[in-house]
Structure 1
Amino acid sequence: MAGQTYVVTVATLYRRPVFLDDEAARAVCRVHTARWPWRDARLLAWVLMPAHWQGLVTLGERDTLSTLIGRFKALTSRAVEDRHRINGWLWGRGFGDRALGADEDVVGVARHLVGHPLRAGLVRSLGDYAYWNAAWLPGDAAPD
């Protein structure tokens, strides 16, 4: 539904920790910097963990959530080297999603999402983890 914000989770095929490889992680991260994959949706925050990606996305008028995430998965799959795919597949089937309620704090949800590397023990400081971003950071548009 247009205007609805979702937390979306996409896991790698067989939950393989593909993104422990910096080259693969950087390839997926480059897709985030292009505007056209998201069309009129807003990517408010995202984090790339070793075996999954999570994003906070507000849908626009032009795509369903399934279409948007399908496009993201296709583009990121093509972005990584063949050695990271199994029979051409990087991501597992489908995705998980949760619609935010009207009373939920979007910035609070985003902060929780990008804090996953800290809670997983991957880094001691979020500044030490390169594979995340949020719309309220300097240089980005603040979330509505």
Structure 2
Amino acid sequence: MPHSKQLRLGRFSEDQRVYLLTATVEKREPIFADFQLGRLLIAELRAAHCDGLVESLAWVVMPDHLHWLLVLQRGSISELMRRVKGRSARQINSLAHRSGRLWQDGFHDHALRHEEDVLPVARYIVANPLRAGLVKRVGDYPLWDAVWL
């Protein structure tokens, strides 16, 4: 995808910076509509947190994409996403008896400016399933979390 190369231009990783990361499943396949497969991705997010790479603030696994609000602790966001996407793809492909690409190339990142309030961004993330019409209440969607709850 020519556009995915554009996503990398000017990318800079800074420890202790808050980032909103978004990754999309190849061809927008709704693979994470399967709860068990969504939990495999969540396990990789938690592993990155437990390994000290990030402090996860909020995330939601939508049927065909991921939104993840985090504080980068060490490494680069490119290395982090390569790890999460690679490890989750191997696990999911194995469990689902599928092969081939799981994720689209690249990812979108937004470094929050100091004047931006993190809480409204977290609320936006966890309200994604509500806005998409997947549930009537945020609490009814099983594939999200936020440190404030």
Shorter chain as normaliser: what TM range?
A: 0.7 to 0.9
2:4 aligns with none
**Alpha-carbon distance change, 107 to 36 in structure 1, aligned in 2, over 3 angstroms:** closer
2:35 to 7, 13, 22: 22
Whether the aligned pair in 2 keeps the contact of 1:37 and 1:71 (CA below 8 Å) is: no
TM-score, with normalisation over the residues of structure 1? Answer: 0.85
After superposition, residues 1-144 of structure 1 pair within 5 angstroms as 1-34=14-47, 39-60=52-73, 62-82=74-94, 83=96, 85-87=98-100, 89-137=101-149
Shift of 1:40: 3.5
Taking structure 2 as the reference length, the TM-score comes to 0.82
Using the TM superposition, name which of 93-102 and 17-26 deviates more.
Answer: 17-26
Q: 1: distance between equivalents of 2:79 and 2:47? A: 17
CA distance in 2, matches of 1:36, 1:58: 10
Q: Could you tell me which amino acid in structure 2 is paired with residue 132 of structure 1? A: W
- Superposition RMSD in Å: 1.8
Shift of 1:26: 2.0
Distance 1:85 1:4 in 2: 36
CA distance in 1, matches of 2:52, 2:144: 20
Aligned to 1:142: none
What stretches of structure 1 of length at least 5 have no aligned partner? 138-144
**Rounded Cα–Cα distance in structure 2 between residues aligned with 1:53 and 1:9:** 5
The CA distance in 2 between the partners of 1:48 and 1:65, in whole Å, is 18
* Structure 2: runs of 5 or more not aligned: 1-13
Report the Cα distance in structure 1 between the residues aligned to 2:111 and 2:38, rounded to whole angstroms.
26
Cα offset, 1:86, TM superposition: 4.4
Aligned-pair identity (%): 39
Q: Render the CA deviation track for 1:6-36: whole Å, top value 9, x for unaligned.
A: 1110000111111111221122222233356
Following TM superposition, by how much is the alpha carbon of 1:81 offset from its aligned partner in structure 2, in angstroms? 3.6
Change in 2 beyond 3 A, CA 1:97/1:80: same
Instruction: Give the corresponding residue for 2:6.
Output: none
